[in-house]
Amino acid sequence: MNTQKDLINLLMQHSSTRKYTDQPIDEKTKQTILACSQMAPTSSYLQAYTIIEVTDPAKRDELATISGGQEWLKKAPLTLLFCADLHRSEKFLTVTDPKVFQNTELYTVAVVDATLAAQKALIAAQSLGLGGVIVGGVRNEMDQLADLFNLPERVMPLFVLCLGYPAEQLPVKPRLPQQFIVGTDAYPDKETDLTSYNQEVSNYYDQLTNGADTFNWVERCTYALEQKPRYEVDEFVKKAGFLKN
């Protein structure tokens, strides 16, 4: 990648990659991805996240099972679990109010830090010719995840980033029209008609699946919320020592 245009094209052409070639990711490439991940912005310099590379086939199998059978968790050349982590901060920082590690602000900081780090890792990987997918389905069984990776208190597993050299390139999924997302000096709450966007999403999946799936944006997002409410995440968050105030 040599030009500003290359970078913009990379960002604009993002699509999730779930099928990979047999080409391994060499150590130098992996370390470059991890180093870029660590250069993500971080609130108050806390770096409140942890990355766990998953190499054990048995643990990969368990991740795939927990997530509902997502095979790419087993087959991706590089599998990284990203966690929100206040354990390290609590261990090394001496503060006058120890309850600060239980408040909503630091929970938010840790989740945002981990998410920004994962996005940096994905962009770095894509710039090196790899593709990837972020899997939130591992949150289906958070207690199991915590046991599987020996997570201490105040560490919350968020998602897995799977990376590898793409065996296929899917078309870019259409995003919401910008007027729904971007406001000027106020929340953008004037747009209500999703007809055109719903049709665009329906057409996208119709072509992608040869007519097997024509659900639009409203239909598929409603289904996702009804099928995966994950109320148990709230219980895990508090049990792990977050949000106790």
Render pLDDT for 228-237 as a digit per residue (tens, 0 to 9).
Answer: 999 999 999 9
Residues 201, 136 share a domain:
no
Secondary structure of residue 103 in the 3-state scheme? coil
Residue 237 forms part of a structural domain:
no
Residues 109, 186 share a domain:
no
Residues 69, 159 share a domain:
yes
Residue 239 forms part of a structural domain:
no
Q: What is the CA radius of gyration of the chain?
A: 20
pTM: 0.95
Residue 149 forms part of a structural domain:
yes
Q: How far apart are CA 241 and CA 245, in angstroms?
A: 10
Residue 111 forms part of a structural domain:
yes
Residues 109, 84 share a domain:
yes
Residues 116, 190 share a domain:
no
Q: Which of 148, 172, 196 is the last residue of a domain?
A: 172
Angle (nearest 5°) at CA 118 between 135 and 51:
90
Give the count of domains, the chain: 2
User: Could you tell me if 162 and 135 are in contact, meaning their C-beta atoms sit under 8 angstroms apart?
Assistant: yes
- pLDDT tens figures, 182-199: 999 999 988 789 999 999
Sheet containing 78-85: order of strands: 49-53, 78-85, 155-164, 131-135
- What tokens does 105 get? 């602000």
Residues 48, 161 share a domain:
yes
User: Could you tell me if 137 and 167 are in contact, meaning their C-beta atoms sit under 8 angstroms apart?
Assistant: no
- pLDDT tens figures, 115-145: 999 999 999 999 999 999 999 999 999 999 9
- What tokens does 34 get? 């991890």
Q: Which residues of the chain have pLDDT under 50?
A: none
For position 190, what pLDDT does the model report? 83
Residues 152, 179 share a domain:
no
Residues 154, 65 share a domain:
yes
